[in-house]
Copies of this chain bind each other. A is one copy, B any other.
Amino acid sequence: MALIVQKYGGTSVADATRVRDVAERVLYTQQKGNQMVIVVSAPAGKTDELLALARGVAKHPNPREVDMLLATGEQISIALLAMAIADLGGKAISLTAAQVGIKTDGTHQKAKITEISLKRIKEELEKGQVVIVAGFQGIDEKHDYTTLGRGGSDTSAVALAAALNADMCEIYTDVDGVYTADPRLVPNAKKHDEISYDEMLEMASLGAKVLHLRAVELAKKYNVPLHVRSSFNENPGTVVKGGENMEQGRIVVGVAHNSKISKLTIARIADKPGVAAMIFSKLAAADINVDMIVQSAGKDGLADISFTVSKDDADRAEEVARSMVEVLSAESVERDDNQAKVSIVGTGMLTNPGVAAAMFETLAQNNINIEMISTSDISISTVIPGELVEKAVQALHSAFELDK
């Protein structure tokens, strides 16, 4: 008898029909002889609806109370799913994070799980119940509700699977699995049957939206095998697991892209020690995540510093940059919202020095100008003009034979 954790996102429990579909799927898997723990998100749209209510009564809603409010979204989902399973003749019980004992630190809206109590879950499993747990939420040491941040239900599921030493953690979503590139851009993108944690981490952090980054980190840490698959069909999805038994000979496993970036350049700064530190600590203080950074030192002792940020942060980042022009004796701040990041990902890259060259050559052959470059152990990223992103992804996908 295997213990399986399944996680269903908001679109999977968006309405009564979908909830009943999930109930049937859960019972089907249980009836094959498995113990089942189900993690559910709030119904699609519910979290935004609750946040709108909060903004209606307060300009700056108190974070503790926002978590109290948001926790109701998942509580609705777990109750409805438990009812639907019972109505189909199954045995199911819903549990909030408080009832399970999913302990977190006290950082409201982005809490980290510190401990999970297994007593109640195990008792209910032994009674043959499907145990349905509210995702996204936890409780701190005062027994106050906390939430794990957007997409946190993935993290809840992986943490439960790790604590329960589950045989598999299935993440149900609205796509069939992890692809070599976004199928909307590359029609012949191929679904991976298997991918390593590290590769998945890079894909997730570089813009592939299938899995929540923190959930993959946690799965890697506790070696929890993940199965990413669609709740709309029966197709097998992508298994994400340790790197040992990966498919042979693959160097590049995917092309990721992110069109939601802006590039800012502070031009002609006096090139002396401490300048970069000053800029980026100011940006950090404003809670702005900076992604790629390029510094070019000119011959005249003046440097340009360019960096990319999420488009959502671009206004605030520009404001911070402009506020520093004087102190840096810089010439100007330039901003370009028409930028995209295109990356290739693969664990074999580090020991294959030709990969970077092949990537740049492919882009050059397609007349795509590279504006910035950065590399990690298992990825190479380039910033290119936004309108060329589709062409770039397709060319790289084909050059690295990902469609084969």
Contacts and interface: CB of A to CB of B under 8 A. Distances in A.
Nearest to A143: B99
A82 B98 contact: no
Given A64-B93, A65-B82, A16 B143 contact: no
Interface of A: 15-16, 19-20, 23, 50, 53-54, 56-62, 64-66, 68-69, 71-72, 75-76, 78-84, 86-87, 93-94, 96, 98-99, 143-144
Nearest to A70: B79
Contacts of A72: 72, 75-76, 79
A75 B96 CA distance: 13
B75 A62 contact: no
A80 B16 CA distance: 27
A78 B20 CA distance: 31
Given A76-B50, A99-B144, A144-B99, A57 B84 contact: yes
B79 A66 contact: yes
A56 B43 CA distance: 14
Identical chains bound together, number: 2
Given A16-B56, A57-B19, A86 B65 contact: yes
Contact of A94 (B15, B53, B54, B68): B68
Task: Kindly name the residue among A69, A82, A83, A87 whose own CB sees the greatest number of chain B CB atoms within 10 A.
Answer: A83
Given A59-B87, A64-B93, A53 B80 contact: yes
A236 B83 CA distance: 45
A143 B117 CA distance: 14
Contacts of A99: 143-144
Contacts of A79: 54, 65-66, 68-69, 72
Given A65-B80, A65-B83, 9 more contacts: A54-B83, A58-B86, A65-B82, A68-B78, A68-B94, A69-B79, A72-B79, A75-B75, A98-B98
A123 B281 CA distance: 39
A87 B83 CA distance: 38
Given A16-B56, A57-B87, A86-B58, A94 B76 contact: no
A359 B97 CA distance: 59
A131 to B, nearest CB: 13
A50 to B, nearest CB: 7
21 contacts: A16-B53, A16-B56, A16-B57, A19-B57, A53-B80, A54-B80, A54-B83, A57-B80, A57-B81, A58-B83, A58-B86, A62-B87, A64-B93, A65-B82, A65-B94, A68-B94, A68-B96, A69-B75, A69-B79, A98-B143, A99-B143
B83 A61 contact: yes
A224 to B, nearest CB: 27
